[in-house]
Amino acid sequence: MRKIDVFDTTLRDGEQTVGVNLNTVEKLEIAKQLERLGVDIMEAGFPASSKGDFEAVQMIAKTIKHSSVTGLARCYQKDIDIAWEALKYSEEPRIHVFLATSPIHMKYKLRKTPEEVIETAVQAVTYAKRLFPHVQWSAEDACRSDWKFLAKVIEKVIEAGATVINIPDTVGYITPKEYGALFTYLRENVKNIDQVKLSAHCHDDLGLAVTNTLAAIEHGALQIEGTINGIGERAGNAAIEEVAVALTIRKDYYQAQTNLNLQEIKRTSDLVSKLTGMMVPANKAVVGANAFAHESGIHQDGVLKEKLTYEIITPEMVGVSSNRIVLGKHSGRHAFKEKALELGFDLTEEKLNAAFSAFKELADKKKEITDDDLFTILTDYQTKRVDEPKYELMSLQVQYGLNHIPTATLLIQTPNGTLVQEAATGSGSVEAIYNTIERMIPGELSLQDYRIHSVGKGRDALAEVYVKVKYNDKPSSGRGVAQDVLEASAKAYLNAVNRCRNHSELSTSPL
Ligand code: KIV
Ligand code: ZN
């Protein structure tokens, strides 16, 4: 079995998903989960792109011990120096430097000749190698590059000290046969290729990212890159969980394996989905809600007789539990803490107490508290910034009646601790709430997108609201959870404002 390194870029390429803005606390939470999942390398961000990205990469590099942490850099000394400042604390400092090699990128974007591109790449790798023991170099848009030229640059950057060479299909253009052939070509035509690992990095514009990644493995890639749930720029990246499960289920064919702990897949997927607001489609492979559901009578009959008739992956393999009813209103703090630990949350005393109060409040109103409910509450409290002054919802009243104008009255606490009350109308209850909030908060605030989703089933299920807003011309996103949809909506809007106030954290990628 060949060992395939997993390079996760959820926090960098994944975070480039339109509308996704994670703050440092959320990134750290995802990084800790990626470590539990067992990724070999995690790309924590692009340190030179913003102060927020720098701080997050540095914090992750200081915290994560069992995965190698890396950061992206352009072929500029300044980018590499900043990356070093962020990554020097990590156990195994590693940098990811990239430069485009396709004719279209060289001519229009870089305005460089092929010779200048080689020179720039070699200079950057040489410089990076003075600081970092591990230097990955990526040929951006490799799959639309001239193969001979690609082989030439790669040979030169290997001479300069690169330890991993990544072949990105930046625009999701290539087909599996071609991608496999490109890996074979490079292995046969770059004379020093044996000194490095070859890495696959695929985008999903034609829906081929996972297939292309597997084709690269068949043709000698020893590292694969991707994101959890396949999130990322445009149509996204290869979904890491799909590649890892395919290698496991078809080890007879691929003869290759990763070090991932597959049982952590579901939790990782849930956490990434919750914190990014990128819902997982029900029919998504491996982690979708219907991935293990059998609807037709013939299938159900088959599965009842023998699971293997229609089930090639078991839910247990990827950590899907049956969303058990776990605690009730008589459960005490000790049982709650134990359950939190079992669900992977090691909260500070302060956060545990706050989460326990929220659980008790919910348990008074909701008949059955499930794993999913607890996961939602605990994620919320784990990623709450306790130290940060913020707008907080104190009370909410909405009047709604058919043929009446909806009116909302809100009381909020402002970041400096004062209480403000206001009311407004709207064409619906949510609009009335949002009009009220817009009156209360100084500055220009407007809603760009609104999504609601229920946690689990049942009429008393928790509501999770995600919003995208513009606040003083800056994009932000927010999340709110409550049993009542209007309360969740109000909380999400305020959360988006609070996140934006700490705007140095919101990364704007220069890519
Ligand atoms: O898709 C891409 O080309 C990238 C590079 C920065 C590696 O993400
Ligand atoms: Zn990419």
**pLDDT of res. 331:** 87
What CATH number is associated with residue 182? 3.20.20.70
Dist CA 368 CA 406 (whole Å): 32
Residue type, 350: E
Structural domain includes residue 329? no
> Does residue 68 register a pLDDT over 60?
yes
Q: Quickly state the pLDDT bin for 319 (edges 50, 70, 90).
A: very high
Q: What percent of the chain has pLDDT over 90?
A: 86
**233: Cβ below 6 Å to ligand 1?**
no
- List Cα–Cα distances, 296 to 299, 300, 301, 462, in angstroms: 5, 6, 9, 30
Phi first, then psi: what are they for 507, rounded to 5°?
-85, 140
Averaged pLDDT score across all residues of the chain:
94
Both 396 and 270 in a single domain? no
**226: Cβ below 6 Å to ligand 1?**
no
Output the residue whose Cα is nearest ligand 1's atom 8: 13
Burial grade of 287 (CB within 10 A; 0-12, 13-18, 19 or more): buried
Q: How many domains does the chain have?
A: 2
Dist CA 218 CA 337 (whole Å): 45
Dist CA 7 CA 144 (whole Å): 23
| 234-245 pLDDT per residue, tens | 999 999 999 999
CB 229 within 8 A of CB 274: no
> Does residue 505 register a pLDDT over 60?
no
Q: Quickly state the pLDDT bin for 510 (edges 50, 70, 90).
A: very low
Strands (E), 64-192: 68-74, 94-100, 134-140, 164-169
Contacts of 263 (CB under 8 A, 6+ apart): 316, 317, 318, 319
Least reliable range by pLDDT among 73-87, 151-165, 231-245, 454-468: 454-468
Bridge partners, residue 445, by sequence = 471
Both 121 and 265 in a single domain? yes
What CATH number is associated with residue 408? 3.30.160.270
Dist CA 304 CA 45 (whole Å): 46
Structural domain includes residue 283? no
User: What's the 205 CA to ligand 1 centre distance in angstroms?
Assistant: 14
CB 358 within 8 A of CB 462: no
**pLDDT of res. 503:** 59
Structural domain includes residue 434? yes
- The angle, 0 to 180 degrees and rounded to 10, between the axes of the packed helices 265-276 and 240-249 is 160
Dist CA 42 CA 60 (whole Å): 10
Residues spanned by the domain of 79: 2-276
Least reliable range by pLDDT among 28-32, 384-388, 487-491, 504-508: 504-508
- List Cα–Cα distances, 46 to 90, 203, 230, in angstroms: 15, 18, 19
> Does residue 110 register a pLDDT over 60?
yes
**Minimum-distance ligand 1 atom for the alpha carbon of 72:** 6
Domain termination residue (choose one: 276, 306, 327) = 276
Q: Quickly state the pLDDT bin for 506 (edges 50, 70, 90).
A: very low
**Element at 254 (helix H, strand E):** helix 251-254
Both 194 and 50 in a single domain? yes
Domain termination residue (choose one: 261, 276, 291) = 276
Structural domain includes residue 347? no
CB 227 within 8 A of CB 13: yes
Among 16, 105, 138, 171, the mutation site with the greatest number of ligand 1 atoms within 8 A of its Cβ is 138
**359: Cβ below 6 Å to ligand 1?**
no
| 27-53 pLDDT per residue, tens | 999 999 999 999 999 999 999 999 999
Domain termination residue (choose one: 254, 276, 298) = 276
> Does residue 182 register a pLDDT over 60?
yes
> Does residue 151 register a pLDDT over 60?
yes
**40: Cβ below 6 Å to ligand 1?**
no
Dist CA 205 CA 453 (whole Å): 27
Dist CA 451 CA 276 (whole Å): 13
CB 75 within 8 A of CB 119: no
Both 396 and 253 in a single domain? no
Dist CA 99 CA 317 (whole Å): 39
Q: What percent of the chain has pLDDT over 70?
A: 97
Mean pLDDT in residue range 148-160: 98
**pLDDT of res. 323:** 60
Dist CA 366 CA 403 (whole Å): 31
Least reliable range by pLDDT among 170-179, 226-235, 436-445, 501-510: 501-510
User: What's the 236 CA to ligand 2 centre distance in angstroms?
Assistant: 8
> Does residue 441 register a pLDDT over 80?
yes
> Does residue 382 register a pLDDT over 90?
yes
**pLDDT of res. 393:** 98
Structural domain includes residue 202? yes
User: What's the 211 CA to ligand 1 centre distance in angstroms?
Assistant: 18
**138: Cβ below 6 Å to ligand 1?**
yes
| 261-315 pLDDT per residue, tens | 999 999 999 999 999 999 999 999 999 988 887 777 777 778 788 888 888 999 9
**276: Cβ below 6 Å to ligand 1?**
no
**pLDDT of res. 507:** 43
Dist CA 12 CA 14 (whole Å): 5
Structural domain includes residue 508? no
Structural domain includes residue 326? no
User: What's the 169 CA to ligand 1 centre distance in angstroms?
Assistant: 8
**pLDDT of res. 493:** 98
Structural domain includes residue 333? no
